[in-house]
């Protein structure tokens, strides 16, 4: 999507994707990931409280979010005052064990991020991107995760619109995007239909959860 689309969504408060509590799939499968002292990447993180949950498990967490006000809201809502530093085109917000880069995910490289990652938590990142950007996203995400590192991925499948996020990402697409890696399906679950998707004609939403080990 164009950056402007997301800036507008945040400006207008149209953030129906924000859960305000740790994601249920993260709670179910995260504890199996050896998070203690792991470096965890959270791409396209919004102001997800998953970041705080991961840090509370002893992980060193690095999120990336395009919209600076979302990052500011995250720290304010957590009652944290981050140190802010410009790093090229990004702005780094940092408290012990938790860093969020405000800016374009595609600009973040491993050196700027402080090294590669053991774990990646992707909830509503891949599904936020339209056809054509997903290959680029996966290539970039894989460049940040070390060989043997694990991605816990949550995608949605639905019969609603194909022109706006969340995009329906079927299983075959996940397997083709991550063809070089070991992809294991962990769960498939019907999810409550959001008012946004229902109003645009969707009749179901299904969550798919994958564990992907990088080659
Ligand atoms: C569907 S939301 C999901 C947010 C979060 N993962 C969650 O579960 O609440 C997608 C987020 O990605 C951000 N985003 C979109 N394109 C981005 C990019 N190129 N780089 C960084 N963040 C981006 C948007 O601003 C938005 O907050």
The torsion angles phi and psi of 145, rounded to 5 degrees, stand at -95, 135
Instruction: Round to whole Å and give the CA distance between 37 and 34.
Output: 8
Q: How does pLDDT run across 163-194, given as a tens digit for each residue?
A: 888 899 999 999 999 999 999 999 999 988 88
Predicted pLDDT at 209: 98
Query: Does the global pTM surpass 0.95?
Result: yes
CATH number corresponding to 3-13+21-213: 3.40.50.150
Q: Partners of 41 in the beta sheet? A: 62, 120
- Per residue in 129-154, pLDDT (tens digit) is 998 899 999 999 999 999 999 999 99
Q: Residue 112, CB half-sphere, CA atoms under 13 Å: how many?
A: 22
Q: Provide mean pLDDT across the span 44-68.
A: 98
Which protein residue's CA is at the shortest distance from atom 27 of ligand 1? Answer: 46
User: pLDDT at position 1, please?
Assistant: 62
Nearest CA to ligand 1 atom 26: 46
Q: Can you tell me which atom of ligand 1 is nearest the CA of 1?
A: 16
Ligand 1 pocket, CB under 6 A: 6, 17-18, 44-46, 48, 64-67, 70, 104-106, 123-125, 128, 165
Q: Whose CA is nearest to atom 11 of ligand 1?
A: 44
Domain residue extents for the chain = 3-13+21-213
DSSP 79: T
Give the separation between CA 105 and CA 48, rounded to whole angstroms: 16
C-alpha–C-alpha distance, residues 53 and 34, integer Å? 14
Q: Give the end-to-end CA distance of the chain in Å, rounded to a whole number.
A: 29
User: Which of 194, 193, 174, 159 lies closest to 127 in space, CA to CA?
Assistant: 174
Q: Residue 55 C-alpha to ligand 1 middle, in angstroms?
A: 19
Q: Whose CA is nearest to atom 17 of ligand 1?
A: 66
């Amino acid at each position: 999507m164009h950056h402007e689309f997301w800036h507008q969504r945040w400006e207008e408060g149209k953030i129906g994707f924000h859960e305000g509590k740790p994601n249920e799939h993260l709670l179910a499968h995260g504890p199996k990931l050896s998070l203690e002292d792991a470096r965890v990447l959270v791409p396209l993180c919004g102001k997800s409280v998953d970041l705080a949950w991961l840090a509370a498990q002893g992980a060193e967490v690095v999120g990336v979010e395009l919209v600076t006000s979302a990052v500011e809201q995250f720290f304010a809502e957590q009652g944290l005052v981050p140190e802010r530093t410009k790093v090229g085109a990004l702005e780094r917000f940092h408290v012990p064990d938790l860093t969020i880069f405000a800016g374009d995910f595609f600009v973040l490289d491993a050196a700027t991020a402080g090294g590669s990652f053991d774990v990646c938590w992707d909830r509503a990142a891949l599904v936020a991107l339209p056809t054509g950007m997903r290959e680029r996203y996966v290539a970039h995400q894989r460049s940040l995760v070390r060989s043997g590192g694990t991605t816990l991925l949550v995608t949605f499948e639905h019969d609603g619109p194909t022109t706006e996020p969340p995009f329906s990402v079927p299983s075959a697409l996940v397997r083709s995007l991550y063809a070089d890696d070991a992809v294991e399906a962990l769960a498939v679950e019907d999810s409550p239909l959001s008012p946004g998707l229902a109003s645009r004609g969707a009749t179901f939403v299904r969550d798919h959860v994958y564990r992907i080990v990088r080659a």
